[in-house]
Structure 1
């Protein structure tokens, strides 16, 4: 379903980026219920105040967005870096098609992974989940995939309980499963639900296991969740996160990619100026992408903002 472009009056970008910013740019996001859609809409509202009009369009999410950007030189889209890996490799998830035209523009937000367990269960460390019944969201989804990877690095196995996050959270609160492992924008809503209902321990895999998982899966990055993020969380938690980026086609003119990236990164406080979920939309987080080459226009904008941009080979 196509949505009307979000256009707000505001000053246009100065210099060469101004002309490039005038054409309305298709911005593929996701459908209702996905964090991609409100994020894209918030970014579009902010970009419009900088003279960059974005037309937010609903889609099925990352893989469709990557396919559309691959085929539409003038489009941009939201994408999970795990899906980018599939697209670059032409895996079955990506329809067996290798994507060679996609390029990174700027970081969106991180999807952190961790567990919540009622304190009455006596579980305090990741290793304590060995042999326990752990809720991991939909079967074969990202949460389950990353939990299995972390458990393998830690050297144990657990019984996986699959299902939607809300029922699994209720089952955790009732003590029917031992812990709930989830991945989402932090604080993770399902873990907040558990922590607000019962005395809870928030459990991450720890620095060593997280480092091992990141070494195996380059689209992940280390993560530290500060104490106090969840009710009753007395200590920080070490884990890993999967980042999401906005992507463009390599054929997009450099000035246009520069204008888009510069506009979004001009937010002094992205959590305040764009949306709370955009707190990670900062040039400093460019380095969390280690799998997809950046568009030259984005590289220029990121470096102007003080970022160190990883040198990643473009797909061929």
Structure 2
């Protein structure tokens, strides 16, 4: 009962380090993605959970992880959904992140694993990754993680592709309308945009294959090989070999320790995250914090993990 009532009122923030019981929780903005992305579903579910416990949180649309990371870098009261591959770009200040090193972004809690697959309509005859050579492939927002990892997979496979950019919803419509030959997406599986396409036209889902996945993960250590069992998608009779990485909710290091501790504890203390937050949050559990090897944890979140007996590998940076 104490876990469930932790944030029954803004005064609960006083538990985390001497704040006045009259201190109100800050209004938070959760930056997510475009319509059709699980980031939006997840952000809305978290905002609803916080709202039920007296915490004001609104959801803001964005182009995805990289824009979210920049929003968090620049706003002490911003939260963001972020793919760890994009977080690595932001921390390193790579060209994908506009050459800007993000030094104030901190991890709070794990969301879910992002796995990458390809969908093509049955009429296209495409069933293997190598057949994408010279094809038009939708890869989500321009310069986003899906595009980055598709390019890496294409290089590992020795093929060249034509990338088409857009939101997940635009990708689905583009595939169905014939504006692209295949759709490459990364999200919680089964990927909603792929399911949306398969619900409207016969199609097939496949991955880059174990050999290509091994080459990509050797080059990009934030990724790991993954296997999707048969039945993950309608009509799928064989395993899909691909690669994946985790997504985390992130915050600015200037977010108060009390706030970071309290909201992390609230989210990770629910008994059944799939039921109490939403199906998209089924793997939002403290034990999965160990999958972050990219970002330092916020000290407030790290306090909760220590109390929960979880030892994340990424250390906080002051």
Verify same fold: TM over 0.5. Answer: yes
Q: Answer yes or no: is 1:17 the counterpart of 2:20.
A: no
* Distance of aligned partners of 1:29 and 1:132 in 2 relative to their CA distance in 1, 3 Å threshold: closer
Question: Partner residue of 2:175?
Answer: 169
Q: Distance in 2 between matches of 1:168 and 1:192?
A: 14
Mapped contact 2:86–2:144 kept (Cα < 8 A) = no
Q: Distance in 2 between matches of 1:236 and 1:168?
A: 26
Pairing partner for 2:286 from 283, 287, 311? 283
For residues 108-132 of structure 1, give each alpha carbon's deviation from its aligned partner in whole angstroms, at most 9, with x where no partner exists: 2333311123456554443343455
For residues 201-256 of structure 1, give each alpha carbon's deviation from its aligned partner in whole angstroms, at most 9, with x where no partner exists: 32112333223323333443443333222210123322223433211233444343
Question: Partner residue of 1:5?
Answer: none
Q: Distance in 2 between matches of 1:153 and 1:32?
A: 29
Deviation at 1:99, TM superposition (A): 2.2
Question: Partner residue of 2:87?
Answer: 84
Q: Answer yes or no: is 1:115 the counterpart of 2:118.
A: yes
For residues 3-40 of structure 1, give each alpha carbon's deviation from its aligned partner in whole angstroms, at most 9, with x where no partner exists: xxxxxx83776983397695234233247625444422
Residue 312 of structure 2 aligns to a residue in which SS?
Answer: coil
Mapped contact 2:118–2:182 kept (Cα < 8 A) = yes
Residue 120 of structure 2 aligns to a residue in which SS?
Answer: strand
Q: Distance in 2 between matches of 1:80 and 1:293?
A: 14
Instruction: Please report the TM-score for the alignment, with normalisation by the length of structure 2.
Output: 0.77
- RMSD across aligned positions (CA): 3.5
* Distance of aligned partners of 1:311 and 1:86 in 2 relative to their CA distance in 1, 3 Å threshold: closer
Tell me the number of residue pairs that the alignment of Structure 1 and Structure 2 aligns.
304
Which residues of 2 match residues 200-279 of structure 1 at below 5 A?
Answer: 200-279=203-282
Instruction: Please report the TM-score for the alignment, with normalisation by the length of structure 1.
Output: 0.78
Deviation at 1:107, TM superposition (A): 1.4
Pairing partner for 1:58 from 57, 60, 77? 60
* Distance of aligned partners of 1:46 and 1:202 in 2 relative to their CA distance in 1, 3 Å threshold: same
* Distance of aligned partners of 1:119 and 1:103 in 2 relative to their CA distance in 1, 3 Å threshold: same
Mapped contact 1:226–1:235 kept (Cα < 8 A) = yes
Q: Distance in 1 between matches of 2:150 and 2:144?
A: 10
Mapped contact 2:112–2:283 kept (Cα < 8 A) = yes
Unaligned runs of 5+ in 1: 1-8
Deviation at 1:74, TM superposition (A): 4.8
Residue 199 of structure 2 aligns to a residue in which SS?
Answer: helix
For residues 52-110 of structure 1, give each alpha carbon's deviation from its aligned partner in whole angstroms, at most 9, with x where no partner exists: 61432526454454344334445433333343233323345545432222211111233
Deviation at 1:192, TM superposition (A): 1.8
Question: Partner residue of 1:26?
Answer: 28
* Distance of aligned partners of 1:241 and 1:17 in 2 relative to their CA distance in 1, 3 Å threshold: same
Question: Partner residue of 2:4?
Answer: none
* Distance of aligned partners of 1:69 and 1:137 in 2 relative to their CA distance in 1, 3 Å threshold: closer
